[in-house]
Amino acid sequence: MKKSIGGVAIAAAMSLTACVSTPKQELGVGIKLSNLDTLVTPGNDFYEYANGGWMKNNPLTAEYSRFGSFDQLRERSNDQMRVIVDKLQKEEQKEGSDSWKVSVLYKEAMDSVKRNELGVAPVQPLLDDIKSLKTKDDMLDMMVRLTKLGMHPYFYLYVSADSKNSNLNILNQMQGGYAMPDRDYYLLPETKEIRDAYLVYMTKMFELVGKYSPAQAKKEASLVFDMEKSLAKYARSKAKLRDPLTNYNKVSMADACALVKSFDLKTYITKLGMSVDSINLGQPEVLNNVAKKIASSSIDQQKAYLMWRVIINTTSILNDEVAETTFEFFSKKLEGIKEMRPRWKRALSFVNGTMGEAVGQLYVAEFFPPAAKQRMVKLVANLQEALGERIENLTWMSHETKEKALEKLKSYTVKIGYPDKWEDYSKLYIQDDNLWANTQRIAEWDYAKELKKLSEPVDRAKWGMTPQTVNAYYNPGTNEICFPAAILQYPFFDMTADDAFNYGAIGVVIGHEMTHGFDDSGRKYNKEGNLENWWTKQDTENFNQEAKKMVDFFSSIEVAPGVKANGALTLGENIADHGGLKISFQAFQKALKEHPLETKDGFTPAQRFYLAYAGVWAQNIRPAAILNRTKTDEHSLGMWRVNGALRQIDTWYTAFNVTAKDSLFIPKKDRVDIW
């Protein structure tokens, strides 16, 4: 699994060399004094000190449950993306070309009149087919059909690199099959209110989309809830899923079938058109329990569940009533969002999610300056060198492990801006009829690609994010770091700002992604991207001891009254922030020797470095979103990516003269020190 810098992948566009005019343009200017609140003492609350002004000037709007400088970049970029797709609509496109397909999909996603006219009719034939199922064999055939449409009943099957032979693609199973974002929502006493609201929502949807009477809809909803609750109960926690070793259980098909006796895995996979000798069972015990549950469920319960998979997967492509009902539960109840995103933003998300690289090509041609890439290449090289030096100087790691770590670091593949080889959409058939029909065509095309992967080696040129995504990632299976074009903008990157700003912002992001190769999960992969233990026993113990300090520290943070952060779930990201800060600061010190900087606006270069870092995580957030993210997000909340991370960093104490009388102070011996 890839590790990203900031949770969700989001669509965006570039603002530095705009050739088309867009509203709300804002060039980066490094540190903005208006973002600070200098009445606060930095050592008491650095987050407030660095971002208090920003938080006051950027209050939450109704469409957000969290709005940060990250989202601000996304907003600005959405505006530009809109100009691109609007332009496509106005100009004549060659039928069947990529830009014509993007244009058709965007138009259909925007066309609420037509979608409201069609209502829930497009999905009825599929729901009727499910209603008419009678036998267990029928049920298996329907599971096959839904899997091919990307609706993943009960668990996921997908093709990806073999974690112990990373050039080879294999079939994998992963737990899943429930619609709420975490198992806790089904199981814990404190989430009862959300469960009740979920049942009300499901009942309403069975009436609206399933065309059931209120009484029957209620019955269907409770059958589905019972099934999803079982799937949630069997599932491993998100924190437990972080260990790649326990998710690796490659077995022969014969052994897999013997393990899940209650379910005909062999027939299922054969009917899916896959011919495989082996499979990686991500969570074998979960699959076995799910198989038993399916076998012991009534036909009615299985039908209700399969119908729900269809309903929950089509909420954004039917009429407004369905979208609004879904918004009430998933956005309002779960996240505290007050208002739906405007239709054009939802339509943009749809085209980005389906033909992302086609949009990405148009985007980089219009907005990505070659100079930004050149500066990034240099920054990445400097960061790589600094991490190498830090590894060499570690006191807790043996010479033997260091050599392997340095080899791994040298083997990183670095991807910046956009892919060398773009996705080929020529075989994707799109017709100008309706959104539901096109969604099915896209799912079939996706599925055909997935099948084809089974007979091909891993394509290492492939990107895990589109260029217009404001994010970055490290992929342990390919040992690559990737920085899409869209993140190379203010407040992460600013061509007009000095090194203090850029090392504090994008420099830490680069160091963050590099550190993922050596976090609690990434360190288990070798330089080729294979799971292999290249650490000595003593080095593993030393690492785990410091990592435990990090877990305990974050688990002690109270994020809301009575709610603690999950230090185990966020460990990898917290280690990455920790390493990113140390590596980038070191690279910055070297850069300063070549290009010395003066104090500016009363801030030393080191102070500006930390202010730029904190500025990246400026945000306002609603209480519901704090609870939701604490359960689901591997990243700590913005406030703690600043106040939690910086308290471990000696050079931050020096830069702001933080002493024992300040509330963020931790004695040096108690600070975490890994990279």
- The answer to whether 181 and 201 are in contact (CB under 8 A) is no
- Taking the complex as a whole, how short is the minimal distance between the CB of residue 507 and Zn ion, in angstroms? 15
What is d(CA 674, CA 551) in angstroms, rounded to the nearest whole number?
A: 13
- Under 8 Å between Cβ of 570 and 635: yes
Q: How far is CA 360 from CA 16, 85, 352, 644, in A?
A: 16, 11, 8, 35
Q: How many CB atoms lie within 10 A of CB 395?
A: 6
CA-CA distance, 582 to 648, in Å (whole number)?
10
Q: Of the two residues 3 and 101, which places its CB atom closer to Zn ion in the complex? A: 3
Cβ–Cβ under 8 Å, residues 611 and 491: no
CB of 334 to Zn ion, least distance (A): 23
Q: 576 or 672, CB closer to Zn ion? A: 576
Of the two residues 6 and 336, which places its CB atom closer to Zn ion in the complex?
Answer: 6
CA-based radius of gyration for the chain: 25
HEC readout, 615-659: HHCCEEECHHHHHHHHHHCCCCCHHHHHHHHHCCCHHHHHHHCCC
Please count the other Cβ atoms lying within 10 Å of the Cβ belonging to residue 188. 13
Question: How far apart are alpha carbons 119 and 208 in whole angstroms?
Answer: 10
Map 463-493 to HEC letters. Answer: CCCCCCECCCEEECCCCEEEEEHHHCCCCCC
Question: What is d(CA 100, CA 649) in angstroms, rounded to the nearest whole number?
Answer: 52
Between 6 and 491, name the residue whose CB sits nearer to Zn ion.
6
Judged by CB, which is closer to Zn ion: 366, or 577?
577
Whichever of 357 and 519 has its CB closer to Zn ion, that residue is 519
How far is it, in rounded angstroms, from Cα 631 to Cα 571?
14
Whole-angstrom distance, CA of residue 647 vs CA of residue 73 = 27
- 120/571 with CB nearer Zn ion: 571
Least distance (Å) between residue 516 CB and Zn ion: 6
Six token digits for residue 619: 């945000």
**Least distance from C-beta 577 to Zn ion, angstroms?**
8
CB 65, min distance to Zn ion, A:
21
Please, what is the minimum distance in Å from the beta carbon of residue 367 to Zn ion? 25
Minimum separation from the CB atom of position 186 to Zn ion (A): 27
Closer by beta carbon to Zn ion, 419 or else 511: 511
Q: How far is the CB of 575 from Zn ion (least distance, A)?
A: 9
Minimum distance of Zn ion from residue 441's CB (angstroms): 34
Chain positions contacting Zn ion, by CB under 5 A: 3, 5, 573, 576
CB nearer Zn ion, residue 82 or residue 516: 516
For residues 95 and 627, give the distance between their C-alpha atoms in angstroms, rounded to a whole number.
47
